[in-house]
Amino acid sequence: MKTISADDAAALVRSGMWLDYGAALAQPVLFDRALAERRDELTNVKIRSCLTMRPRAVVEADRGGDHFQWFSWHFSGYDRRQHDAGLCHYMPLNLGEVPDYYRRFLDPVDIAILQTCPKDERGFFNFSAANLWHRAVVERAKVVIVETNPALPYAPGDDNGVHESAADFVIEGSADSPPELPNPAPTEIDRAVARWIAGEVEDGACLQIGIGGMPNAACALLGESGVRDLGVHTEMLTDGLADLYRAGRITGSRKVLDPGKVTYTFALGSRSLYDTIHRNPDFVCQQVDYTNSPHIIMRNPRVFSINNTTQIDLQGQAASESDGHRHISGTGGQLQFVRGAYASESGKSFICLSSTYEKRGERRSRIVLDLTPGNIVTTPRSDVMYVVTEYGIVNLKGKSVPERAKALIAIAHPDFREQLDRQAHEHRLVPRWSRPR
């Protein structure tokens, strides 16, 4: 392993190479700036990434996309804006399968550049709160470069890091504060949805919480309730879960896997969240094929999976990642956790959404007869269990198509129920003879 400057590291890049910047807190800073300076010397450099939390110099320097191409496993707001501009490309996945993609289906990475904690006493560069598939990237990379940042939280976890013997070069980076993810205050609709979910959560439940206001609102309500001995086995660690931990609601004492531990694969949130994680032995940052594989998720009893969607049709198909052909986020781990929670003993999965949204000054229903053309189905109708809006909660498991349609209409916004009922009958989702006259 050799210590080099960011400029010298960037000089290793050749046209046509595949680079990997990793995900979230792992994305490099100094190397990215140095590589952007070489724009005019390079063409068709392809870079894989995920959940980009800050503007990337290579993208900003090449608004035509001739020199650098940006690929993402899951969009942040920044990735989405670049996609709208034609500068970012989405790669479909189930997030927990990504290590397997690198090992089985992708060509070796030419250069992997990951931001890490400084070398620890065991000779490891800790991946911080972003374990994910980074071990697989390191295994499949021809050249491995780590860019250290002493401001990153050190996240205990199995194989959460790269040993100095597996790193070719190290860039001594600056102590930039890790990017934070804002947590807007929950709306009244968020809290209404959360109340329905919180009413289902039992002592000893093992939580998976997705990103967004509604799941965080559910955490807040659980903190106010009397529920206790909660566990966590999740993809993303959020501020809401950290708040529950600090309140003493999370003990993990009833978990089968990692008892007493908060299990996650990456964290994004506030400085308070990162401070809670830092060298805390109660938290274990695992690889994503461990956190997200349904056959592993199901080993804990009473898994409660809570995720958002943006649109659901009357048969129960949940579209959570696009607005028509415009990509918004990604499949992430939603489907895998829906399946893992269902297979768990007494487990439950919740897909939550507000009943309406505003678009171009018009209020529209999120519960619809047909999904918006081009919308991607994230969770199929055969997998959806509980659906929750501010108007109620329904379980679609075991229900026929007419029963599903009626159940979903009952939790739609009242202003849209008559129209949805009429559409359901006109398109024979519900028998015509069953409509009241």
Task: Report the catalytic residues.
Answer: 235
Coil, strand or helix at 225: coil
Instruction: Count CB neighbours of 8 within 10 A.
Output: 13
Instruction: Residue 384: name the closest of 432, 293, 318 by CA.
Output: 318
Q: What is the 3-state secondary structure (H, E, C) of 328-377?
A: CCCCCCHHHHHHHHHHCCCCEEEEECCCEEEECCEEEECEECCCCCCCCC
296 DSSP assignment: H
Coil, strand or helix at 68: strand
Amino acid in position 396: L
Q: Where are the beta strands (DSSP E) in 360-429?
A: 362-365, 367-368, 386-389, 392-395
Coil, strand or helix at 34: helix
Cα separation of 190 and 395, whole Å? 19
Contact (CB, 8 A) for 162 and 138: yes
Instruction: Residue 125: name the closest of 102, 149, 142 by CA.
Output: 149
State the sign of the Cα–Cα–Cα–Cα dihedral 144, 148, 151, 154: positive
Cα separation of 266 and 108, whole Å? 24
Q: What is the 3-state secondary structure (H, E, C) of 138-165?
A: HHHEEEEEEEECCCCCCCCCCCCEEEHH
